[in-house]
Structure 1
Amino acid sequence: MMKNFFLTLLLILVTVFTFAGNPDKKGVIKGVIRDSITNQPVEFATIAVYKAADQSLVDGAITGETGDFKIRKLDPGTYYLEITFIGYKTKRIENITISKDAQIQDLNEVHLSMTAENLAEVEITAGTPSIEYQIDKKVIHVDKQITATAGTAVDILETVPSINVDAEGNVTLRGSSGFQVFIDGKPSILDPNDVLQQIPASAIADIEIITNPSAKYDPDGTAGIINIKMKKIRLEGFNGIINASVGTYGRYGGDFLFNYRKNAFNIYFGADYNKRVNPGYSEYNRDTYVNDSTFKTVATGDFESIRISWGVRGGVEINPSKNDYINIGGRLGYHERTGTTNRNYDEWIEPGDIHNPYLSYESSFRSADFYSVSLDYSHSFKKDGHSLTAQVIYDHRISDELNKNELLETDSTIRNAQQSTEKGPAGRLRVKLDYTLPIGENDKFETGFQSRNIIADDDNKLYNYDPDTDDFILIPEYSNMTDYKRDIYALYAIYSGKVKNFGYQAGLRGEYTYRRIKSENNTSDSTFIIDRMDFFPSVHLSYDFLKENSLMASYTRRIERPRGWYLEPFITVQDAFNLSKGNPDLEPEYIDSYEMAYQKRFKKNFFSLEAYYRITHNKIERVSQVYQDNIMLHTYENVGKDYSLGGELMLSVDLWKWWH
């Protein structure tokens, strides 16, 4: 199986190498922007090209992750460059000449110097749009969002195309909750919505929306990846940023970040706190058909959800040489969510008209203590863009969950009640190695390895209320211990380049997965194993035409692995009317994802039109059946295929200078 994997990768590489063509005959100016002190790349710096003769603006670019930029299709002549970025002094480079004998001007490394201005007083210019489109992702520049001064990452995402947020702050990406959340390129061990609710908006520099990730990224998730890039302070000496926010319904939060930078050494420390309250009102109607009878239930009531989180982060950055970078970092935190619901019920059976009114009280509490430690290393070779990076991350989480459901008579006497608990640790180790090799003027080859290892234990217990003792009694047959182990090993290869106005990227990722679930209680002991190999191709294409017009298209194959509670092979009580049981034989969903986009830029404004189409194989759906009178049992099955089609339209216009 592994032999076939490597043969397939080799075939992909041989094929994409044939795409390379002659470079554009017009002039090119390129280079890499770096910090003058740390020598680290400066991402999102603005490069403007002007004619020396009349000082007219000719073209521009924005630096990528490695600080690189390349401006093509320049006519013969003399130009000058202006390089700007927040917190740095503007850099001007004069007398850059393009001629037949010097079509390519390589500026190599250009270093920007820090300004001593207070970051809060720097004016944000419109050189960079609030949302920037790249070949495989959207980048939201948070500093240009009005919501960046308060709230959390969720408040920023509410204004972003592709994102929907419900009344309780839960996020969906293109209609799906199946997405990953990364922080500075590192996955979080927490639930994606918990992560987004925790991070203060004021601590975020940029958010990347990657709906069709290339083979370089994890293929997990139907909808893709949301990568949150945290703010960093790059000024020399001791510096700090402090933010605080207050909102309605008792919402408040704050964060700070301090650092000390001296030459090639930097140490940083930050912390954040956030509280978010979501009250609401609900109505509930349910009909259960059993033989010739219909059990009807109507309920109305109020609910409230409270999320509280805090976290601290810190680390040390070292540049032992001009070409080497080391970062040792960590994060420690706590997250909890409390929910309460009070409902008035009316229940009756048809045919018949005998009503049975009662009350219900539901409460839930879920918390997680977590920490994460990471080691990052990168080495830049002599040739621009030639690099090797390595990353090791270990995450650990201890979760605790309590759910309580009470049915009360109208005089508040307890009729029936259940209580369930779930707790246990989870640990995850991630090792990643990436290599990038520039080829020629426009092409690039990337390859890498990654391992992901997870071990988790869950202790589930169910209790029934005993009116004789006025206490909750353990039910052993509904109490279980589950051990979960999963190992994933991956290799990927990508080739990308540009021929005149046509850009391309093709890649293949292979993943080997071993998963074992062991469940036991006082009556049974079961083990379920998966052992498989999967392949995930990706293709991204782009074409620039006329002036400031571009077309993009992409295809990727992805996977949505069943969540833990989908697999647990035992019954758990959700409330007095609903039971849930996992299915350990579930197959993962496989998604074929297609996208097309058109973009038009005009001065400081832009227009974009996107369409996407997804085919989901082995679609997982919840299947319900009557367990007892008016009690439903819910489980999960692979039901077949699912098709999803959608479009997005966005227009960004600055009507006046003061308009945001």
Structure 2
Amino acid sequence: MRTQLNVFFLLVCSLGLAQNSISGKISDFNTNEIIGWADIILLKDDKVVLNTISKDDGHYELTGIDNGTYTLKVNYLGYQDFTVPVSLSGNSKRELDIKLKSNRELLGEVVLTAERTTIEFKSDKRVVNIGRDLLAAGASTENILRQIPSVDVDISGNVSLRNDNNVIIMIDGKRSTLSSADIIAQVPSNLIKQIEVITNPSAKYDAEGVSGLINIITRRPRMNGGNFSVNAGIGEQDRYHFTPSGNYRSGKFNFYVNYNLRFPYFGSSVNTLRQTTDEIIEQQTGTEFENARVNYLKSGVDIFIDSTNTLSFSGIYARNVHSLTDETATRIEELATGTERMIMFNSENMHIHVSKELNANYRKEFNGRNHYLEADINLANFPNTFQIDQREVEAGQADFIIDDSQRRENTITTLSADYHRKNKKGNTLETGLKAEFKNLDNFQDRTEQSETITVIEDNFLYEDRVLAAYVVYEHTFKKLSLKGGLRLEDYRIDLNSNDVETFDDSYTNLFPSFSLSYKVKENEFSANYTRRISRPGIFSLNPFTVEQGNLNRRRGNPFLRPSFANKVELNYNRKFKKINLNASAFYSQIDDVIQFIFIREGDFIINTFDNIGTSRQYGIELFSRINWSKWWSSNLSMNYYFSDFETQQFANTHTFSQQYRLQNDFRFAKSWSVQLNGNLNPRRQNLQQEIQTNYRLDLAVSKRILKNKGQLILRINDIFNTSEFDVERNLNDLSERTFRKPFSRYAYLTMRYNFSFGQNNQQNRLRKQRRYNSGNVD
């Protein structure tokens, strides 16, 4: 009897502790060629239970699986996803050999896909997957950013996030010393794959950037064989672009190259009326953006050492050259005497912005994409040259001539290592180290000539370094996920002006982050907190004066202090049958706010920076995607932003702004599509200025051609020519109104064509080899 009980007990235990396994081989459906490094994922109720990757010989194995019903999913770049249900019980050992079909089996050839841009709302960021629509059809990156919820670009190309300019823009996760306007001018829009908008970054990300981060991710194709595309366009006002790109992957090597040649154009007319207690100034300015040429080249190689080790090298060279020509007529009325003066002002500014980067990356995967170690080295150099020639002519006065030459040599060296592990239960551990070193050498040679000659030579040196470490842990329950992290950053900065140390500082700070998300049916709630810092940047610290016409100047403030922010955000997502809804609310308290301000110095308005006190920023954002029918869908966003300042510098301490955007997509038949976008920015109040309502409407029509391998797109920007910048400022005893009208309405025609080679030839050779081995030779 005891023996029978023991046998029964062991039998029950063996059933309760049943450990099943799945194994097999991954190969090509047509050629039977083995496929190494494919992702094999075991799912239960849409949650990852186990995952691995196939070895070099195509074999895979998943062990230690509990009894139950699962879904096995296999994917590999260039092939269609494969899924199959699997039921396991009683220590079963399932053998599943899987054959993957190439995407070319589905498409016939490489065709244009992902026509629509999509937006994914996650607990801590928004991921914008750039499609082949109006957003990328020969448009600038500026036009793409304008369509993204929470992001705005002003008439000068400066980027803001939630109505705050204190945002960090990265390219493929790398920082730049260029201004936001120069960054988005260099990166071609049709080479952008994704844009991540991270409003409340976790401790994994750099702590800098009070309003958040914008990460622009460029395309890096890895399809098998040769895959290339050509994108070219022509538009009014001498706008052109030509973009060939592609890759060739064979065996353990993948080579890719992206190139863009672009001739942009920007011009505007400006009318200014300024009044003080002494005089009235009327000014008319015409600005031409001439001789503009942007070259962008990115190339690299991926070396797949084996199924778990990948080594990548890449390089970028970008050159943005343009000249700005201003012709200004200024009438000055002296109120005390009633006399008038006329001043003619001409300015020619030549800018050369160059970016050179080298990157090396190593990735070791231990158990597929859920467990890896990654190390990265990035070397970046940004030499820039500015030549400014100005002449001011007034009757009865000697001409006033300025010859201003500035040279900047910026370098950034970044070293980083990141470790990521996600276990069977969905719990994730992330940790990493980073070191970043920045250097700026800025030299100014300025000559001012009137009745006398004044020569000014200045040299400004900037050095900083950041040493950082972080740890982030996420624990997942059935419907609840908790995520906490801590980041340590040690910072040092040294400033020297004309070989005299003007400022140095060092400090160490901790930056915690915490978030939770809860899912119930089609509803998802999330909340997160993070601490951020805004360190004075190179441009805000540089004390050199730069003329902006003969009424305005810009200079930095080398004595700025860092500002710190505590941020809280709430998010809600809901999916209905035809509507996706997202709502966000946020609150931030920022101490020692770094603010772009205007001050009066004699006859000039100086644009500079200062720490102005404490601010509280809060707002609400609403976004919805509506599928009205099979042929019509819309994206609608509405944003409301508020700020309260504790400061004695300004009479106005409350600001408010709002944004409305509507994007409509229409599909007619199988090959025609239309997109109509509208932007509205109603009148908004800032600390020192009031900006009037601004709105615009853009239209694009596309037609697929050449068996879906090509596409023609006609885009018309600012159909009704309504885009403008109308602003009023009041500074003590000075009031000013400026009206700027850009040449924003133009038509642009783009053609795309994709083609491929290599894979089919390779498949034919493999088929012949199999027939030869079996004795069947043609």
Shorter-chain TM-score tier = 0.7 to 0.9
Q: Deviations over 1:625-657 (max 9, x none)?
A: 5544x2455553312012222222111122232
Distance across 2 between alignment mates of 1:158 and 1:624: 26
- Equivalent residue letter for 1:502: L
State yes or no: 1:518 paired with 2:518.
Answer: no
State yes or no: 1:377 paired with 2:355.
Answer: no
Distance across 2 between alignment mates of 1:551 and 1:176: 25
Of residues 210, 220, 224 in structure 2, which corresponds to 1:222?
A: 210
Secondary structure of the residue aligned to 1:148 is coil
Shift of 1:277: 1.2
Q: What is the root-mean-square deviation of aligned Cα atoms in Å?
A: 3.7
Shift of 1:399: 0.8
Q: Deviations over 1:37-67 (max 9, x none)?
A: 573769xx9x999xxxxxxxx9799x99x99
Secondary structure of the residue aligned to 2:142 is helix
CA change 1:178–1:199 in 2 (3 A) is same
Of residues 498, 507, 527 in structure 2, which corresponds to 1:553?
A: 527
Of residues 37, 40, 43 in structure 2, which corresponds to 1:39?
A: 37
1:566 corresponds in structure 2 to: 540
Shift of 1:184: 2.5
Secondary structure of the residue aligned to 1:585 is coil
Distance across 2 between alignment mates of 1:560 and 1:377: 31
User: Whose Rg is larger?
Assistant: 2
Shift of 1:499: 1.5
Distance across 2 between alignment mates of 1:552 and 1:205: 26
Conserved 8 A contact 2:474-2:484 = yes
State yes or no: 1:398 paired with 2:383.
Answer: yes
Conserved 8 A contact 2:573-2:581 = yes
Q: Deviations over 1:76-97 (max 9, x none)?
A: 996767778995324231x334
Of residues 229, 236, 251 in structure 2, which corresponds to 1:263?
A: 251
Conserved 8 A contact 2:186-2:318 = no
State yes or no: 1:493 paired with 2:471.
Answer: yes
Q: Which moved more, 1:447-456 or 1:169-178?
A: 169-178
Conserved 8 A contact 2:43-2:70 = no
Shift of 1:196: 1.9
2:441 corresponds in structure 1 to: 457
Of residues 524, 544, 547 in structure 1, which corresponds to 2:519?
A: 544
Matches within 5 A, 1:230-245: 230-245=218-233
State yes or no: 1:304 paired with 2:295.
Answer: no
- Equivalent residue letter for 2:617: S
Using structure 2 for the length normalisation, give the TM-score: 0.68
Conserved 8 A contact 2:278-2:335 = yes
Conserved 8 A contact 1:482-1:568 = yes
Matches within 5 A, 1:85-124: 87-93=78-84, 95-97=85-87, 114-116=102-104, 117=107, 121=111, 123-124=113-114
Shift of 1:550: 0.8
Shift of 1:361: 2.0
Q: Deviations over 1:101-160 (max 9, x none)?
A: 99xx9999999654234665255499xx81111222111111264323322322222221
CA change 1:635–1:160 in 2 (3 A) is closer
2:455 corresponds in structure 1 to: 475
CA change 1:157–1:637 in 2 (3 A) is closer
Distance across 2 between alignment mates of 1:302 and 1:106: 75
- Equivalent residue letter for 2:480: F
Distance across 2 between alignment mates of 1:526 and 1:358: 40
Conserved 8 A contact 1:406-1:414 = no
Matches within 5 A, 1:17-36: none
2:402 corresponds in structure 1 to: 418
- Equivalent residue letter for 1:233: P
Of residues 576, 581, 595 in structure 2, which corresponds to 1:602?
A: 576
2:505 corresponds in structure 1 to: 530
Conserved 8 A contact 2:177-2:538 = no
Shift of 1:233: 2.6
Distance across 1 between alignment mates of 2:608 and 2:158: 23
Q: Which moved more, 1:208-217 or 1:340-349?
A: 340-349
Secondary structure of the residue aligned to 1:277 is coil
- Equivalent residue letter for 2:534: E
Distance across 1 between alignment mates of 2:471 and 2:97: 28
- Equivalent residue letter for 1:621: Q
Shift of 1:507: 0.8
- Equivalent residue letter for 2:504: I
- Equivalent residue letter for 2:189: A
Uncovered stretches (5+) of structure 1, i.e. residues with no partner? 1-28, 50-57, 68-75
- Equivalent residue letter for 2:86: I
Shift of 1:409: 3.4
Distance across 2 between alignment mates of 1:189 and 1:111: 48
CA change 1:266–1:324 in 2 (3 A) is same
Distance across 2 between alignment mates of 1:197 and 1:111: 45
Q: Which moved more, 1:111-120 or 1:253-262?
A: 111-120
Shift of 1:555: 1.5
Q: Deviations over 1:520-572 (max 9, x none)?
A: 17xxx333211111221111221112x22111221221122212243234655
Of residues 198, 204, 227 in structure 2, which corresponds to 1:210?
A: 198
CA change 1:218–1:516 in 2 (3 A) is same
- Equivalent residue letter for 1:258: G
Distance across 2 between alignment mates of 1:208 and 1:267: 25
Q: Deviations over 1:18-46 (max 9, x none)?
A: xxxxxxxxxxx9xxx9998573769xx9x
Conserved 8 A contact 1:405-1:576 = no
Distance across 1 between alignment mates of 2:505 and 2:152: 34
2:609 corresponds in structure 1 to: 636
Shift of 1:164: 1.6
CA change 1:488–1:349 in 2 (3 A) is same
CA change 1:604–1:78 in 2 (3 A) is farther
Conserved 8 A contact 2:398-2:450 = no
CA change 1:608–1:83 in 2 (3 A) is farther
Distance across 2 between alignment mates of 1:294 and 1:366: 36
Matches within 5 A, 1:63-78: none
CA change 1:447–1:113 in 2 (3 A) is farther
Conserved 8 A contact 2:511-2:532 = yes
State yes or no: 1:313 paired with 2:292.
Answer: no
CA change 1:148–1:309 in 2 (3 A) is same
Conserved 8 A contact 2:39-2:368 = no
Distance across 2 between alignment mates of 1:207 and 1:511: 26
Distance across 1 between alignment mates of 2:544 and 2:318: 31
State yes or no: 1:656 paired with 2:629.
Answer: yes
Distance across 2 between alignment mates of 1:504 and 1:109: 38
1:278 corresponds in structure 2 to: 266
Q: Deviations over 1:608-636 (max 9, x none)?
A: 111222222111235555544x2455553
CA change 1:145–1:77 in 2 (3 A) is farther
Of residues 542, 564, 567 in structure 2, which corresponds to 1:593?
A: 567
Conserved 8 A contact 1:205-1:230 = yes
CA change 1:248–1:536 in 2 (3 A) is farther
Distance across 1 between alignment mates of 2:137 and 2:77: 17
- Equivalent residue letter for 2:111: E
Conserved 8 A contact 2:157-2:180 = no
Kindly, what percent of the aligned residue pairs are identical?
25
Uncovered stretches (5+) of structure 2, i.e. residues with no partner? 1-21, 29-33, 55-66, 633-664, 666-778
CA change 1:196–1:263 in 2 (3 A) is same
Conserved 8 A contact 1:205-1:231 = yes
Distance across 2 between alignment mates of 1:107 and 1:245: 52
If asked which structure has higher relative contact order (CA below 8 Å, sep 6+), I would say: 2
Residues paired across the two proteins, number: 586
Secondary structure of the residue aligned to 1:190 is coil
Distance across 2 between alignment mates of 1:636 and 1:155: 27
State yes or no: 1:172 paired with 2:167.
Answer: no
CA change 1:618–1:152 in 2 (3 A) is same
Distance across 1 between alignment mates of 2:546 and 2:156: 24
Using structure 1 for the length normalisation, give the TM-score: 0.80
Q: Deviations over 1:331-367 (max 9, x none)?
A: 1121134322222212123344222122222332221
Q: Deviations over 1:262-313 (max 9, x none)?
A: 122111222111222122221212234xxxx423322123223355311111
